[in-house]
Chains A and B, each alone.
Chain A
Amino acid sequence: DAGITQSPRYKITETGRQVTLMCHQTWSHSYMFWYRQDLGHGLRLIYYSAAADITDKGEVPDGYVVSRSKTENFPLTLESATRSQTSVYFCASSESLGGGIHEQYFGPGTRLTVT
């Protein structure tokens, strides 16, 4: 299906485990983003990527790793999950052509619980 998808939609993991959240978009958008959503904080940017093999930190990158070997995929890895990483994670993508302002399109989210 066309669009932006995230998997899994729900995940429960234990403290100290490694977990990877997947994000896939079919538009060939240049930019991709990972946010976490927590009560009282809105959405905070974790990492973003301007193109394949180009990534950069956002506001709250500690404890997370990203990669982008292909334009359409942008996985987010928690190398050693902690309870403070319990959150809803959203992936987003946007185009950037000729300096225009393009909206971000969001995936449906992954609800992660770390026990």
Chain B
Amino acid sequence: AQSVTQLDSQVPVFEEAPVELRCNYSSSVSVYLFWYVQYPNQGLQLLLKYLSGSTLVKGINGFEAEFNKSQTSFHLRKPSVHISDTAEYFCAVRNIETSGSRLTFGEGTQLTVNP
């Protein structure tokens, strides 16, 4: 079984500042890693995913994440945030060996961008 820990439940930042949302996972097997974003009153949508290859993954809206196998982390970063980035962000993992696209989600991090 795997688990995901998002280390910060809330992250307030000012517009145009950089941000990092932290995600650590625990798994006895190799995993795929995902970040999803949820805007207010909407469903989740995929920001980016790590399957294999380069450990730096670029996603939509200027976000990127870096997979660090030794630290079992997959932190999400953006160099300069906008008001419109205010949302809840979820890190998720999937066991490589299982079929069916089952995901295990973290508890979420609420990013609030202030003017």
Q: Which residues in A have some Cβ–Cβ distance to B below 8 Å?
A: 4, 31, 33, 35, 40-45, 48, 50, 58, 90, 92, 94, 96, 99, 101-104, 106-109
- Could you say which interface size class chain B belongs to? 20 to 34
Q: Are A43 and B90 in contact (CB under 8 A)?
A: yes
Any chain A CB within 8 A of the CB of B102?
Answer: yes
Q: Of residues A33, A42, A50, A94, which shows the largest number of chain B Cβ atoms within 10 Å of its Cβ? A: A42
Q: Of residues A58, A90, A101, A109, which shows the largest number of chain B Cβ atoms within 10 Å of its Cβ? A: A101
CB distance from A22 to the nearest CB of B (A): 15
Q: Quick one: which of B41, B45, B101, B107 contacts A96, CB cutoff 8 A?
A: B101
Which chain B residues lie closer than 8 Å to A44 at the CB level? 105
Q: Which 5 A-B pairs have the closest CB atoms?
A: A106-B43, A42-B107, A43-B105, A42-B105, A106-B44
Query: Assuming the A-B contacts A31-B101, A48-B102, A101-B49, are A40 and B107 also in contact, with contact meaning beta carbons closer than 8 angstroms in the complex?
Result: yes
Q: Are B51 and A101 in contact (CB under 8 A)?
A: yes
* B 32-44 binary contact with A (CB < 8 Å = 1; else 0): 1010100001111
Q: Report the separation of the CA atoms of residues A75 and B104 in the bound assembly, to the nearest whole angstrom.
A: 22
Chain B residues 78-115 with CB under 8 Å of chain A are 90, 94, 99-108
Q: Which residues in B have some Cβ–Cβ distance to A below 8 Å?
A: 4, 6, 32, 34, 36, 41-46, 49, 51, 90, 94, 99-108
Q: Are A94 and B101 in contact (CB under 8 A)?
A: yes
Closest to A41 in B: B107
Which chain A residues lie closer than 8 Å to B46 at the CB level? 103-104
Query: Assuming the A-B contacts A40-B107, A42-B108, A101-B51, are A90 and B102 also in contact, with contact meaning beta carbons closer than 8 angstroms in the complex?
Result: no
Which chain A residues lie closer than 8 Å to B107 at the CB level? 40-42
Q: Are B43 and A90 in contact (CB under 8 A)?
A: yes
Q: Are B108 and A31 in contact (CB under 8 A)?
A: no
